[in-house]
Amino acid sequence: MDKLRSELEAVSQTNYYDIQDNFREKTKDPETVLNLLKQVEELSVNKRGNSYQLYGIMGNLYRILGQPTRAIGYLECAHRIANEEHDNMKIAVTLIRLGEALKYNEKHQQAMECFDQAIALIHKNKLENYLDFALQHKGKCLLELKRYEEAEQCLRKALKLRKQKKDAMLIESTEQVLKYIKEMDY
């Protein structure tokens, strides 16, 4: 799993947020992502590794490759496992990931339901470390729905939390979307 983590980190360096496509995450190197996917799928088939984690990884990688239907399938498996384990943190994280995959599959209303469920679960179980992610992704979904005021409100809340975390990369990603909204002058 350590080798897998380092390869995931290397792959994440090839990812970018496509401004022309509502800041959707994509990769500059699909071949490398596909090679990593094959490795992760092999681990999953051979039952070597944490199934929840492997399904989550496969779901994210398929989403980044622009294959949201496959992503949704794997993320639904991860969600089922998280529920079976009664692990609220895993459930919240998976709801955020599933919401993103649904958004990429143009199922925005279902995505919004996932983000709202994640936010409610985060508040109920004091999992505040994940709230900025839920708000960020909900805000970007609202942006795609052209609900700009609501998007801006979500993103401003996410930015406030990210500034408290003092994570420069997260702050920058939120500020980039807010700047885009401001430039739209809706």
Whether 2 has a pLDDT exceeding 90, the answer reads: no
- pTM for the model: 0.94
Q: What is the dihedral of CA 96, 85, 5, 112, to 10 degrees?
A: -10
User: Is the confidence at residue 3, as pLDDT, over 90?
Assistant: no
Average pLDDT, the chain: 95
Q: What is the mean pLDDT of residues 47-75?
A: 94
Q: Which two tokens stand for residue 139?
A: 């805000």
Q: Which of 113, 150, 119, 148 is nearest to 133 (CA)?
A: 119
Distances (CA, A) of 66 to 71, 119, 128, 144, 161: 9, 25, 30, 16, 29
What is the amino acid identity at position 54? L
Domains and CATH numbers, the chain: 2-184 (1.25.40.10)
